[in-house]
Chain A
Amino acid sequence: MTGRIIVLAHAHDAGAAAVAAALARRAGRAIVDVVRPEALGVARWSHHVDPGGHVTTRLTLPRAASPIERVDCVLNRLQYLPTPRFHRASLKNRDFAAAELSALVMSWLGSLGRRVVNPVASHGMSATASWSRRWLPAAAACGLRVPRSVVATASRLLAPVGPGERVRRSAAWPYPVDGRAPAEVVPDETQMIAAGMVLVAGVQVVGALAPRVGAGCAALARTTGYPLLELRFAEILGALTLVSVETLPALDTPAAVAAATDLIETVAAGGGIPA
């Protein structure tokens, strides 16, 4: 294997650290750089777009011996982007600096295309908020059973909930709960039995539930464009139901770390993200 791999991850990200360590153990001639998000805010940047749209980026991290230029794969675990140079600035300037730096990081990661796992979301992050109700139709279309999800801006508008469901009222409601409080229908946790998880990492699907729902999970990863996904399931009234999807998988089992490492190696070796 050749190339340069960047693990872009926070110091508290044990899963990313495990993958970085595995890569370093396995890597033949590859260079593995662990880059902290806060370093991006104090790095020296040169990001150039030519008239034809071709991008070259030179990123010089503090105390680095040489700049990062060619990148073969980025394991993107960004959750937020600190701006250490603006800690003492006004809130307005701090917000502006954060937006500007995020936009730059997004452009850099975007320019790397399918060499970034997972791809950039609107602000260059790894789309940590991406498991939202908008994924439900896609998951259902991939053959996965999903819970009913109904949102109401006033709980009095909700029809009576069915078995295995409950009404969760908005925590932001400032008054005693009444029918005007925003609410949503969610699975009743007291009737859920955790069933396990499935990790999709490129072409690999690992986890105890993979034989039962692996095909649907892999299809969802392909549909959404996230090659690294963790899907958690629960038994609700006896049916195996998808209850969460994480675009920043915990990577807390040897099998998950190995699968993620394989994916990063494949991408770095020029194999690209499996379609």
Chain B
Amino acid sequence: MIVIYGRADDPPIARLLDAVRDVMLEHVLLDQRELEHSDMVVDFSSPARRGRIVFAGADVPLETVDAIYARPLGLPARWRDPLVRVRAQAVHDAVLEWLEVAPTLVVNRPSSMDSNSSKPWQTQLIAASGFLVPETLVTSDPDEVRDFLARHGRLIFKSVSGVRSIVQELDASFHGRLDRVKALPTQFQAYVSGVDVRVHVVGDWTFAAEVRSSVIDYRYAARAGAEVGLEDIQIPDAVRDRCTALARRLDLVFCGIDLRRRPDGEYVCFEVNPMPAYSYYEAETGQPISRALVSLLSGKRGR
């Protein structure tokens, strides 16, 4: 039995549901939008973490769960009744606690996502896996930013934390505002020229997509009126192996790794997304990521 936790209207969940139905894999969706109608009991002190989930007419003993895919988003704001909100929050909290200790495959455990809350910390972990990383400076000293800029010619800046931010180039329009870093240390990185490559790691499988875009942060290309093209590509074996080693180091059985291939052919790694919205890449490239996820959840590892 596979448990899928998330929202049915979230594209990655929707694609995974299609894939599990295609192979008629026994599964249940615990839909975050319906949590007020759900219940859970977990015995955290039992070695098997016995218990059950009750929802949508199903009553699933936790001992029968072989694997879990979790993509928890924020709870809906539509619940105004405090009773409903408390119940939904209680189920959500119980699920997250269970994900940490469930004695089965969990894609991914919440604690495995911790490194994503500090980008420079994650950068250190990435480098320890053998990838080059962009030279990074987090500073509250405007003069140091100017020196860093003079040394590298081009810089980008982005949030230090996991708070989503648009990666922007530190162009002339920002030079007059550099004193603002005195109030809050800000992260700058040397600009790395080249082509973006997104690698999804699913167990030991890897799926690489080259991203063609004229903007710094292709996730927000539409806002800039730019287009994005994605193409399925093969990456060198050594880079693929580094990706799977990085995922293992971060204890992530599924992740999205952002690389840039420099003109000299070397790959630089920017960050790792522990809960990737893979559906976009799958839809654009035809890569069978959701099928690989189903295989992983069925007990296969890949390669």
Partner of B41, one of A103, A123, A152, A174: A152
- A153 at interface by CB-CB < 8 Å: yes
- B232 at interface by CB-CB < 8 Å: no
Can you spell out 26 A-B residue pairs with CB atoms less than 8 angstroms apart? A45-B185, A48-B135, A49-B133, A49-B135, A49-B136, A51-B132, A52-B127, A52-B132, A54-B127, A99-B159, A100-B185, A101-B185, A103-B119, A103-B120, A103-B161, A104-B185, A110-B124, A111-B121, A111-B124, A134-B44, A140-B47, A151-B41, A153-B94, A154-B39, A172-B86, A180-B83
Give the residue name and chain of the A residue nearest to B131 (CB).
Answer: A53
Q: In whole angstroms, how far apart are the Cα atoms of A42 and B139 in the complex? A: 12
Q: Are B127 and A53 in contact (CB under 8 A)?
A: yes
Q: Which has the most chain A C-beta neighbours within 10 Å: B49, B119, B183, B186?
A: B183
- Chain B: interface residue count, which band? 35 or more
Q: Are B41 and A153 in contact (CB under 8 A)?
A: yes
B76–chain A nearest beta-carbon distance, Å: 17
Binds B, one of A141-149, A212-220, A225-233: A141-149
Q: Are A170 and B90 in contact (CB under 8 A)?
A: yes
Q: Are A46 and B39 in contact (CB under 8 A)?
A: no
Q: In whole angstroms, how far apart are the Cα atoms of A53 and B185 in the complex? A: 19
- B173 at interface by CB-CB < 8 Å: no
B193–chain A nearest beta-carbon distance, Å: 14
Binding site for B on A (CB under 8 A): 43-55, 83, 85-86, 96-97, 99-104, 106-107, 110-111, 120-124, 132-134, 136-137, 140, 146-154, 157-158, 170, 172-175, 180, 182
- B138 at interface by CB-CB < 8 Å: yes
Quick one: given A51-B133, A173-B86, are A150 and B126 in contact (CB under 8 Å)?
no
Question: How many A-B contacts at CB < 8 Å in the complex?
Answer: 182
Q: Which residues of A contact B134 (CB under 8 A)?
A: 51
Q: Mark B83-108, 1 if CB is under 8 A from A, else 0.
A: 10011011100100100110000000
